[in-house]
A and B are shown apart, each in its own frame.
Chain A
Amino acid sequence: MADVQEIEFKEAAARGIETTRTLATNSPGEELQELKGEKLVLNMGPSHPSTHGVLRIILELDGEIITKATPDIGFLHRGDEKIAENMTYTQFIPYTDRLDYIAPLANNVAYALVVEKLLGIDKQLPPRCQFIRVICCELARISSHLLGIGALAIDMGGVTVFLHTFTEREKIYNLIEALTGARFTTTYTRIGGLARDLPPGWVERCRQFLDEVLINIDETETLLTRNRIFVDRTQGVGVIPKEVAIDYGLSGPNLRGSGLEHDLRKSQPYLVYDQMEFDVPVGTAGDAYDRYLLRIEEMRQSVRILRQCLDKLPGGPVNVADMKIVLPPKDQVLTRMEELIHHFINVTQGVNAPAGEVYFGHENPKGELGFYINSKGGGTPHRLKIRAPSFVNLSILPWLLPGHMISDVVAILGSFDFVMGECDR
């Protein structure tokens, strides 16, 4: 056995102070703009591996130090909001898979919940449906954080971690495939319920996975948390003070990493999260290392929630008993008149939503995924706005990047854990 090497950890306060930046300093790049000499313009992305998709950042460099960063987004813009205005509420569910494609189940749940809020049935969902939806959200969170950490590590050269976490994600995909029939494009929720109930034996498989993933998380931590290179490259890098994080509207782990204790699962409880016991981890320094630690802890808390869900999972139906909202069972559609009519109206015209406007914010793995629906009545939204967490989280880059070295960019981007499918919509 080799001796365990002592690694010097900087105190959280010291990490924060090293880059003292407050809201008052308008742009940290301003003093750097004054630098004399020729600046190099570097075009990072849109197909750079560390940009996790198609983010382009135009960096102005003085030597190796960034003086100005201009993000350029929109390479994956598909006009999801326009598409939503031209189809029924149910038809849009597959499009939500393609927002944050690392955690499609969580998007499905968020979208179903906002339409149900508009219909006024979000409090009447059967308990089994609510529990299964929480299971979906938390599986999606683990899957997303595993990828986020793996990608953060591989961006800084730690290929092992990436392969290690992907082994575990593969198990989640198998679970999701058994549950929904698809690995990526789940389209699992329906307005007022779910596409199908849990398959036989799924709960046991899920329990086994939870035991295995905890071991994997521990192993991932042994690879990274006290790893000299990892610590040096993330501590004190990308420090975001709390007030700046709020001002730029960050949400999710990126906000909590800066020390604000806020989680929509606790502050605006939806589904059965108020019955669950779990903690919300909070960072202290607000640097990339804190955001990494926070994701590790969030996965452990997700496992806690999942175990409680599997223990308490009630029986009963998974859909609301209103045929004007949920499709009636197929055998009845083929034999009875009234069911046939409901089926026909539901499929051709969609649910009959009242006129009005609702907003629902969902604690997605990446942050607050919000949907705003402006309805003029009928089966189609007049306007559907998607408040994508990655879009808002990335808007801090012009403030955050200047003053850092170019190699810090990959660490910062990795610690932000964004998805361009959601950012560009």
Chain B
Amino acid sequence: MANFQTKLGMDALELARQLKAKFGDLISEPAEFRGEITLLVADSERIGEICAFAKKELGFDFLVDISSVDNYGEDPRFTVIYHLYGYGHLCYLRLKTNVSEEQGELPSVTQVWRTADWHEREIYDMMGIRFRGHPDLRRILMWEGYPHFPLRKDFPLAGKVSEMPEVAFTEPAPLAGGPFVTIAGGKDTLSREPRVRIPETDALETNARLERRRDIKEAHGQAYGPGPIEPRKQRG
């Protein structure tokens, strides 16, 4: 078994310096925190070019993750973060770039790593940042047509009211219009399905339940359960 520790004599800091040497002022000085190297890319429009260089020349063949941060109240508002890793040298590198709210867009890196596809869709879905040149920029976790971007800081934790699609699909689904599928705007299951509970009997049941509850309340002084436990009588 090969030793994983062989590192081609490289470390993340050296790789970061090489990237800086190539792009100059476009990239900030490497910042180190807890042994991780972070580079800030000044112009988000050139992120694709930098990533392509990092992959081809510096051996960062694995895009671990893309995440986004909402710095609400600051300008520029969004930060997009790329975590790179190289299987040759086993080093992590973090690239960050800022995107303002008005701009709200940066080039896609799907041409460099295909795994970026779903990561970018997720960022678009959650944060509302668009990626130019993405082959299929749709929502991924929320449904098509959802109006909000839930990971933004001005979106409340409790959520916002939004209209659910009438059926779970936005495009005509297979078997749509068939006998077993509810059609948007068509009859609902209640009227289509004869065995389903009828509202009138439901009302009768509900009334009976209310009646029982009232009886219990009269007998025990409260609606639920048999009331407070009375102290046990001493047996003679």
Contacts and interface: CB of A to CB of B under 8 A. Distances in A.
Contacts of B85: 361
Interface residues of A, number: 48
Given A247-B113, A267-B4, A279-B1, A370 B64 contact: yes
Interface in A58-87: 58, 73-74, 77, 79, 81-83, 86
A242 B42 CA distance: 34
Interface centre among B92, B118, B174 (most CB of A within 10 A): B118
Contacts of A356: 33-34
Contact of B87 (A74, A83, A262): A262
A359 B92 contact: yes
Given A267-B90, A370-B65, A383-B70, A74 B115 contact: no
A392 B115 contact: yes
B94 interface: yes
B36 A382 contact: no
B173 A43 contact: yes
B38 A357 contact: yes
Interface in A351-372: 356-359, 361, 368, 370, 372
Contacts of B157: 82-83, 86
A43 B142 CA distance: 19
Nearest to A242: B87
B4 A249 contact: no
A419 B67 CA distance: 21
B140 interface: yes
Contact of A249 (B64, B90, B150): B64
Given A41-B174, A356-B34, A357-B38, A268 B150 contact: no
Contacts of A260: 87
Nearest to A23: B114
A137 interface: no
A359 B36 contact: yes
A82 B151 contact: yes
A119 to B, nearest CB: 9
Contact of B67 (A261, A385, A392): A385
B55 to A, nearest CB: 10
Given A246-B61, A387-B64, A43 B174 contact: yes
B67 A249 contact: no
Nearest to A385: B67
A395 B117 contact: yes
Interface in B171-225: 173-175
B161 interface: no
Interface string B105-149: 000000001110111001000100000000000011111000000
Nearest to A265: B4
A382 B78 CA distance: 13
B142 A120 contact: no
A126 B15 CA distance: 34
B69 interface: yes
B162 to A, nearest CB: 14
Contacts of A86: 157
Interface in A276-297: 279-280
A118 interface: yes
B67 A74 contact: no
A77 B141 CA distance: 6
A300 to B, nearest CB: 15
A424 B115 contact: no
Given A43-B173, A82-B157, A361-B64, A249 B140 contact: no
B65 A74 contact: no
A339 interface: no
A409 to B, nearest CB: 16
Nearest to B63: A249
Given A43-B175, A77-B141, A357-B33, A263 B4 contact: yes
Nearest to B61: A246
A161 B36 CA distance: 44
Contacts of A372: 65, 67, 81, 83
Contacts of B173: 43
A77 B64 CA distance: 21
A6 B115 CA distance: 41
A79 B150 contact: yes
A249 B33 contact: no
Nearest to A59: B174
Contacts of B81: 357, 372, 374, 385
A266 interface: yes
B62 interface: yes
A95 interface: no
Interface string B66-94: 01011000000000010101010010101
A42 interface: yes
Nearest to B172: A41
Given A86-B157, A268-B90, A74 B143 contact: yes
Interface of A: 40-43, 58, 73-74, 77, 79, 81-83, 86, 117-118, 120, 246-249, 260-263, 266-268, 279-280, 356-359, 361, 368, 370, 372, 374, 382-383, 385, 387, 391-392, 395, 399, 424-425
23 contacts: A41-B174, A43-B174, A77-B142, A79-B150, A81-B126, A81-B151, A83-B157, A86-B157, A246-B87, A249-B64, A260-B87, A262-B4, A263-B4, A267-B4, A279-B1, A357-B38, A358-B33, A359-B64, A361-B64, A368-B64, A370-B83, A392-B115, A424-B141
Given A359-B64, A392-B119, 4 more contacts: A82-B150, A246-B87, A359-B65, A370-B83
**7 interchain residue pairs of minimum CB distance:** A249-B115, A74-B141, A385-B67, A266-B4, A387-B65, A395-B118, A41-B174
